[in-house]
Structure 1
């Protein structure tokens, strides 16, 4: 069973299409935060800020997880990201991805519970680890 969290709303057992619609709406709005959680534990967190997004895949709640990165992107932040608790963060562009990657990332997660292999991912528990693709 899946749960989709968007701000203060939770949708139980959303369809793939419902999840992707929320992702596409966040992309179109240039902002939005959501998480998709499976009953077996894996969680995908997406925070859209303009043309970029922070994407994290956690094995379970409390896990440091991995986040998708773009190695060629700037070490400087270019966007602001509003979290579900209204906190505003900034991340280096290298630690975020272009929003055009969100649909494939989310689609792959929904099908496999794993990270999309089309992007490198940084292990956030061991920041010295070489990113994997």
Structure 2
């Protein structure tokens, strides 16, 4: 007959095994996330090729994501709505759309302390503008 001590040892071993598997998966996800962030390159988009309209864009990594709607009128960005921003500590980066509108360029400084969120938001805006550029004019 199995006693309580043996059952407790088995349960503890199962918990340790599950924790180890979860820990390994988490560290692999973090590594993949860091590599994805490092590889983000923000290209400038030629606004003279963009027709008037509203263009959705998004970009997502393991831990951070952004969804935007970019409004273009007369080859100028007039508004960027940040529809969704999945972030950890990157709330400060939510000023990026306003800075892009002011600069009329994606080449704006990232927000200190929210660099990763800044890059993800900029990439979502770039994706919106690139999708607009592909629409037949």
TM-score (norm 2): 0.24
Larger Rg, first or second structure (1 or 2): 2
Higher strand fraction (1 or 2): 1
Higher helix fraction (1 or 2): 2
Larger RCO: 1 or 2 (CA < 8 Å, sep 6+): 2
